[in-house]
């Protein structure tokens, strides 16, 4: 099935049509800067503009940087607080004229990696961490997703892990890769003590530079870069829409679909 996948991040909104059977982008991805303060209406307008770029009139899956319950964000760490309680499914559907389903962005990336990337056919406990403006996480057991696991805000020495372990922190404080890897390694060690995963998959923009920091990591679990790199969120958002359609989770009153 062909579905438009959109990945909303703290700095950019990007998307492309996706073949959900192969995970291949059917056109070159298109990126729009995330509007300042990331309030609902400007973000919805940007999503509409992205859909218009592809002249899209079909289904849309959208990764969003928050925990999602029934189509509505319940957290807002890297977007405006006005998102909490806003039905993002309905808002994006209104602006695009398409059926839209919103899913946590890290969950979307994880779904893509487990089907088409580094986690394919992997059993046991797998944790995907997306490294960008924040730290997104997705948790899988024997290939099954536990949605909305927000592990990026675990406190380390009394501080939110995102203060030092994100790519944004590395850039902001002009840290060397080795110095930043020390903070990120401490974060992974904390997750390891809690979950003892068999595999960490590292995604987000820095995944393409994995050779600069993975050698400094000391966790016992296997560590692999995301194979879909920064496209995982796009592919996974489309895949999430495909999965709920296959399961038959569609509201009959307005045509919108229920999130994972």
Three-class secondary structure of residue 249 per DSSP: coil
Interatomic CA distance for residues 13 and 233, integer angstroms: 11
Domain that holds residue 143: 119-227
Per-residue model confidence (pLDDT) at position 260:
53
Does residue 11 lie within any of the structural domains?
Answer: yes
CA 147/CA 136 separation, integer angstroms: 12
38: left (phi over 0), alpha (psi -120 to 50) or beta: left
Q: Are residues 46 and 79 in the same domain?
A: yes
Angle between helices 40-53 and 88-96 (to 10 degrees): 50
Residue 138 lies in a domain: yes
Please check whether residues 48 and 90 belong to one and the same domain: yes
Q: How many domains does the chain have?
A: 2
Show the beta-strand stretches assigned E in the chain. 2-8, 12-19, 24-25, 30-33, 60-64, 68-69, 72-73, 100-104, 125-131, 135-141, 144-146, 155-156, 159-160, 199-203, 222-225
- Name the residue among 4, 13, 23, 20 with its Cα closest to residue 226: 23
What pLDDT band is residue 204 in, cutting at 50, 70 and 90? confident
pLDDT of residue 161: 93
Give domain status of residue 252, yes or no: no
| Predicted confidence (pLDDT) at residue 257 exceeds the cutoff of 60 | no
pLDDT digits (tens, 9 = 90+) for 12-55: 999 999 999 999 999 999 999 999 999 999 999 999 999 999 99
CATH number at residue 13: 3.30.420.40
Residues 100 and 85: their CA atoms lie apart, in Å, by 17
Instruction: Determine, yes or no, domain membership for 256.
Output: no
Residue 113 lies in a domain: no
Per-residue pLDDT tens digits for 102-140: 999 999 999 999 999 999 999 999 999 999 888 999 999
Q: Is the pLDDT of residue 254 over 70?
A: no
Specify the DSSP class assigned to residue 34.
Answer: P
| 0.85 exceeded by pTM | yes
Same domain, 170 and 200: yes
Give the Cα separation of 35 and 38 in Å (integer): 5
């Amino acid at each position: 099935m062909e579905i438009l996948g959109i990945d909303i991040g703290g700095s950019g909104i990007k998307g492309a049509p996706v073949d959900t059977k192969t995970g291949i982008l059917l056109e070159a991805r298109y990126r729009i800067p995330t509007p300042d303060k990331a309030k609902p209406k400007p973000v919805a307008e940007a999503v509409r503009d992205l859909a218009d770029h592809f002249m899209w009139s079909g289904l849309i899956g959208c990764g969003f940087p928050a925990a999602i319950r029934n189509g509505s964000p319940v957290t807002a760490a890297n977007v405006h607080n006005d998102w909490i309680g806003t039905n993002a499914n309905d808002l994006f559907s209104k602006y695009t004229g398409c059926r839209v389903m919103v899913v946590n962005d890290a969950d979307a990336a994880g779904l893509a990696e487990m089907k088409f990337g580094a986690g394919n056919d992997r059993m046991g406990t797998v944790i995907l961490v997306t490294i960008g403006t924040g730290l997104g996480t997705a948790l899988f057991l024997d290939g099954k997703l536990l949605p909305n696991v927000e592990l990026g805000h675990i406190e380390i020495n009394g501080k939110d892990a995102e203060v030092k372990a994100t790519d944004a922190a590395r850039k902001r404080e002009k840290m060397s890769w080795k110095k930043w890897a020390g903070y990120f390694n401490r974060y992974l060690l904390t997750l390891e003590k809690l979950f003892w995963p068999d595999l960490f998959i590292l995604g987000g923009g820095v995944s393409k530079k994995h050779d600069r920091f993975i050698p400094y990591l000391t966790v016992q679990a296997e560590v692999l870069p995301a194979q879909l790199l920064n496209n995982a969120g796009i592919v996974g958002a489309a895949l999430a829409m495909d999965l709920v359609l296959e399961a038959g989770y569609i509201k009959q009153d307005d045509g919108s679909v229920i999130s994972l």
